[in-house]
Amino acid sequence: MATYILRISCPDEKGLIYRITQILYQRQLNIVGNDEFVDAQRRYFFMRTEFAGTCQPEELRAQLQGALPAARIELGRPRRREVVVLATSESHCLGDLLLRHADGELQASIRAVVSNRPDLESLARRFELPFHCVPSEGMGRQDHEAALLGVIGGYAPEYLVLAKYMRILTPAFVGRFPHRIINIHHSFLPAFAGASPYRQAFARGVKIIGATAHFVDEQLDQGPIIAQSVIPVDHTHSAGDMAQAGRDVEKVVLARALKLVFEDRVFVSGNRTIIFD
């Protein structure tokens, strides 16, 4: 039997779960996993259901939409996502993703690696992936992003992953991929946003450092957070020590966030995320 993932979000009201599951039952579909949550502040309902059986997805979706006219309904089979990875010169996050991709661990197909510098070409080629260098020096931001889009557009990716891509993207660029650009930031947001977070953390004398994976929006490092983690540090750690330790956290957090997103476990609710793990 085929497995499907059903995602529903809508204003909260009584009887939603009953109406949804009744339709699945009537179609003799077997629910194998189910999560639901109500955002009390927004009075908004979120539900992720995995079910197995034989169905006509468009017919089922139309029936659910008729029963829930105000709902956003997504229905599909589990699948690998088409991804383009953007990086600059640091190799740890990109290398980790390429290893996971080669091992079949990443629920995605990495189509290409794109960078504004040539440093990581040999790493990408080692995994037999196309590498494109789109230099930014001497170019205005809009011209550079136009060249970037020219390369990315050829792959028609569903998601862009910023694996230490050290360029700030304009709102116009971000607007082309709403909630489809995922970034790893080397600090525990909202603390130490922007550049040099480990130097900021060292200067502040923090006792933990961390990393944050988030969707990119128009404001720098302010998009909805997907995953975070921290490790302890103390007064003996220099800013360089913190940066070195932080690299391991960054790899794990980014991989974790991608797994959640690619398995359709993340809903965006305003500037927050609802995650069914």
Residue 120: other Cβ atoms inside 10 A: 24
**Rounded CA separation 47/5 (Å):** 10
Q: Which residues contact 113 (CB under 8 A, 6 or more apart)?
A: 84, 85, 86, 87, 94, 120, 123, 124, 129, 130, 131, 132
The amino acid that residue 6 corresponds to is L
Please give the DSSP secondary-structure letter assigned to residue 264: T
The one catalytic residue among 12, 221, 234, 241 = 221
Cβ atoms 167, 88 nearer than 8 A: yes
Residue 264 annotated as catalytic: no
CB atoms within 10 A of CB 13: 11
DSSP state of 16: H
Cα separation, 163 vs 90, in Å, equals: 8
Is residue 68 within 8 A of residue 8, CB to CB? The reply is yes
Rounding to the nearest 10 degrees, give the CA dihedral for residues 223, 227, 231, 234: 10
DSSP-assigned states of every residue in 164-228: S--SPPPHHHHTTSTT-EEEEESS-TTTT-SS-HHHHHHHHT-SEEEEEEEE--SSTT-SPEEEE
Please identify every residue annotated as catalytic: 221
